[in-house]
Amino acid sequence: MSDPNHPDPATNAEPKTAPGGAGRILRALRSASIVRSLRKDWVAMLALAVLLILMFAAALPNLLAPYRVFDLTQIQLMNAFRPPAWLDGGSAEFLLGTDDQGRDILSAIIYGLRVSVTVGLGGVALAVVIGVTIGLIAGYAGGFIDSLLMRVADVQLTFPAILIAVMIDGVSRAILGNAGRDNAAVIVLIIAIGLSGWVEYARAVRGATMVERHRDYVASAQLSRVGTASILFNHILPNVLTAVLVIGTIHLGVAILIEATLSFVGLGIPPTQPSLGTLIRVGNNYILSGEWWIAIMPGFALLVLVLAINLLGDFLRDALNPRLK
Amino acid sequence: MEAIEDMTKLNGIHGRTPFRGRMASGACAAALALGMAGSAATADTLRIAGQGDIGTLDPQAQNSQITISVLSMVYESLVTRDEDLQMVPSLALSWEPVADTTWRFELRPDVTFHDGSAFDAEDVKFTIERAQAETSQFANFVGSIASVEVIDDLTVEIETAMVDPLLPDKLGYIMIMDSGWAEANGVTVPQDLGNEENTYAVMNANGTGPYTIAERVPDNRTVLEINPDYWGEMADDIEEVIYLPISSPPTRISSLISGEVDVVIDVPPQDVQRLESTDGLTVARSPELRTIFFGFDHASGELRHGDAGGTNPFQDLRVRQAVDSAIDADTISRVVMRGLSQPTAQLIAPGNFGWNPEGDERAPFDIEHARELLAEAGYPDGFSVRMDCPTDTYTNPEQICQAVSAMMSQIGIDIDLNLIPRAQFIPLLWDKDTSFFIIGFNTAYFDAMYVLETLLMTQTGEDGEGIYNYSGYSNPEFDELVREARVELDRDRRQELMYEAFAIARADVAYAPLHTQTLVYAMRDGVDVPVRPDNFIEIRWVTMD
């Protein structure tokens, strides 16, 4: 076996990876086959377009939002409960109406989008890092380590993601105190989503790794005394990334929903820095009293965001899976 | 009988509330007799939903409205209130002053606790002494008492350290425990709630009231079962009463609309109209004898939570004045409370003795003036401070605190809003670990003396003086006036002194008053829960078909 501490300089040149293993994503992109299949799929095109717009809004809220909703000096209680512009009493000043504090709902949604997407992407990224690492190790090592890691994954799967997220929220409140927890809400949620969502990645990567590790290119790398870490991350990883990409896209939708759920029940982002879920929670107080737009508008934004992500995820799964072609 | 006379004169207010006439006494007695006879065999349950849970079953551990409201179904005091809020006998049959500083109480015979033991004078002595313990939150109510003497089984004499015309009123808040039960279960001192102590009395109760505790699951439900041996009169004989804390307002309201609960006691103002127009539901309201206001940390040299360059801006009168003038109470009343509140400049509500009809003019809402005051005080660029705000007590506190945060930002005060459940909020007050907070306060026995003594007097640790003075406000001139007023037997003179004391606190901006709330209960047709202005759910008056 290779010894990572004493690599042989003469044979350290990376062996050519096996044909067909150079990363289906890169290849697919290069040959533009994925672009071609995207052109044929107008639903996926639309989903991508919508997602790009939403991501742009989330990335640059200052550019698009008419008001700075986090700036308390801009909020006037007198403007509260204005209906959307097309209803009686609405005005073009507040296109989608205002909430109970007089915040412009359109702006709140745009800023909320940023919080939701940040938490979603962060959570997914953390889950990917944990899941892929564990999956690679388990699949490559096999035997006892594999059994141990996969049993841990099984146990983890018996807890619903929300339950894990609630537990992490509780722990963070105990450690940071309530105010501290609220200030670190984004990070706490990213950790909660990351720790509750890694198992799927681990399983998929483990399966793919078990297949890949018997391939010739791995054997040749081993013979060339390439370090284990290098084999895992430089050689095997690119070949199992397809699965990660597909799971990741779907998981992003789930992660954003988990964030929204936690914020809705009051365990997520505080109302001073609202995410989409927080906005829906605030609006829910007025759902019976006729000011439906406070909850429905951010709810609709959440729906469109998650739907676009899921449609795109479906498309990627189909397009990148050679067996379905 | 100065105290009782006070109550009579106070009676004027009740004509303005929908409260009077709810139970015209003659009709009431007839209905009562019918109710007793007709529904004796029906199994029925009254489900009441409110926003927060009760904190304990220990009757001297937490002076918090929902806690004492639910516990008053299980435990009873020597005196209680009738439909016009006049003092009437409960466990005491009669009381009278026998000397300047001595009150004699004749107790009701043949009353037993839920475990069957007899109620007697020893229990009264024991409970009053229990309420004087350090861990008691009711120390103020018994603060004037020097000693309790058992004359015979059914007579006690209470010796006060000074003249205390309000003693019987105060004893209305002391719920009597069985001394034998308390000793047998090791709960002779109240639970130390501040240090999260757990005792037998926290989950178990043994009172003389119309209900016993059948089940208690904290933060979930409290199930009360009727006490068949109850000595008193009841308007109905509802077999089971369940109190359910449901913190989310729309969930609470939906539960009522869908029939999962029968009564909701904390109705958000925004839902009143909708509930009033819903068939099968009734909405009842009453101005509450409670005031909502903001408190500052007057005592610390440096802000505990916030940043003002190592100082505590709230020690400067001009800063407090600035906060006071930057609060737009009218807009809060109109938008957040939908008119179900009355902006005020006082710390007590109309209907309390000591409320000044001429004292309700707020400092004008004036952002420019507030900015100038801050600049004069040396904070031209403002400062940052944490505001602590409970989310499941009072009406729409979260919305009020957010609105005030926005208003403070207009004058450069940067608020870090700490929205927390009441269970986490109250310990912050106890520890005085708050720099800026919202609080609601009512006058326990409809007399401003309670507010003056417990909320505003310098905290001495004695006799409950300043026991709820979480702000550290201290003004010797004010304290002197209160000491003078509390032993004054002439009613008009006492009122005059209380007006003067309040004027000092107002000039000092000890607190920044906001408004008095309107209490709203909603219930399904066929259920009648009268709304008491002090927000007690008086279960003895509740009827259900």
The answer to whether B423 contacts chain A (CB < 8 Å) is no
Q: How far is A273 from chain B (nearest CA, A)?
A: 11
Q: Residue B38 has what pLDDT?
A: 37
- The chain-wide mean pLDDT, for chain B, equals 90
The residue in chain A having the minimum alpha-carbon distance to the alpha carbon of residue B328 is A77
* Interval B263-282: pLDDT, tens: 999 999 999 999 999 999 99
**pLDDT of res. A26:** 62
B336 interface with A at CB cutoff 8 Å: yes
Read off the pLDDT of each residue in B295-311 and give the average, rounded to a whole number. 95
Statement: residue B80 has pLDDT above 90: yes
Task: Find the Cα–Cα–Cα–Cα dihedral B169, B170, B175, B176, rounded to 10°.
Answer: -90
Q: pLDDT confidence of A37, banded at 50, 70, 90? A: confident
The CA distance from B409 to the nearest CA of chain A, in Å, is 5
Predicted local distance difference test score (pLDDT) of residue A115: 93
Residue B186 Ramachandran class (φ > 0 left, ψ -120 to 50 alpha, else beta): left
Nearest residue to B78 via CA among B115, B103, B114? B103
Summarize the confidence of residues B66-76 as an average pLDDT.
96
CA distance A1 to chain B (A): 57
Q: Does B498 touch chain A (CB under 8 A)?
A: no
Q: How confident is the model at residue B159 (pLDDT cuts 50, 70, 90)?
A: very high
Token pair recorded at residue B475: 């003004």
Nearest-angstrom CA–CA distance, A312 and A317: 9
Structure letter (DSSP) for residue A232 = I
Indicate the pTM of the whole model: 0.82
* CB-closest option in A78, A272, A287 to B417: A272
Among A32-41, A224-233, B97-106, name the most confident range.
B97-106
Pairing mode of beta strands B45-50, B240-245 = parallel
Contact A287 B250 (CB under 8 A): yes
pLDDT score at B61 = 95
What is the Cα–Cα distance from A255 to A148, expressed in whole angstroms?
Answer: 27
Which tokens sit at A301?
């934004």
**The residue to which tokens 């406000």 are assigned:** B473
What integer is the mean pLDDT of A59-65? 90
Q: Kindly determine whether residue B331 and residue A270, on different chains, have CB atoms separated by under 8 Å.
A: no
Supply A125's token pair: 């990224």
- Rounded CA-CA distance B2/A324 in Å is 92
| Per-residue model confidence (pLDDT) at position B441 | 92
**A7 pLDDT more than 80:** no
pLDDT for position B301: 94
Q: Chain B residues with CB inside 8 Å of A76's CB?
A: 406
For B184-227, write each residue's pLDDT tens digit: 999 999 999 888 899 999 999 999 999 999 999 999 999 999 99
Q: Between chains, do B336 and A290 touch, taking CB under 8 Å as contact?
A: no
Instruction: Give the pLDDT mean for A116-138.
Output: 95
Q: Which of A69-78, A186-195, A236-245 has maximum average pLDDT? A: A186-195
Residue B32 and residue B235 in contact, taking contact as beta carbons nearer than 8 Å: yes
Question: What ipTM is given for this predicted complex?
Answer: 0.76
10 Å Cβ neighbour count for B115? 12
| Cβ contact A81–B335 (<8 Å) | yes
Asked if the model's pLDDT at residue A3 lies above 90, the reply is no
The Cα–Cα gap between B535 and B531 comes to 7
Across B403-419, b (16+ Cβ under 10 Å) vs e yields bbbbbbbbbbbbbbbbb
Q: Is the pLDDT of residue B493 over 90?
A: yes
Q: Please write the tens of the pLDDT for every residue from A282-306.
A: 899 898 888 999 999 999 999 999 9
Q: Does B409 touch chain A (CB under 8 A)?
A: yes
Q: Is the dihedral of CA A224, A227, A229, A230 positive or negative?
A: negative
Interchain pair A78, B331: CB under 8 A: yes
Q: Which residues of A touch B304 (CB under 8 A)?
A: none
* pLDDT score, position A31: 56
DSSP string, A179-205: HHHHHTHHHHHHHHHHHHHHHHHHHHH
**Residues facing B515 on adjacent strands:** B292, B343
Q: Is the pLDDT score of A324 beyond 70?
A: no
Closest by CA position to A188, among listed A208, A211, A222, A164: A164
pLDDT of residue B393: 86
B271, closest residue in chain A (CA to CA)? A289
CA–CA gap between residue B348 and residue A105 (Å, rounded):
38
Chain A CA closest to residue B272: A289
Alpha-helical runs (H) found in chain A: 24-30, 33-40, 42-59, 61-64, 105-141, 143-158, 161-183, 185-212, 216-223, 228-230, 237-264, 276-284, 293-320
Poorest-confidence range of B274-283, B416-425, B505-514? B416-425
Averaged confidence pLDDT in chain A:
85
Closest-CA distance, A29 to chain B, in angstroms, reads: 48
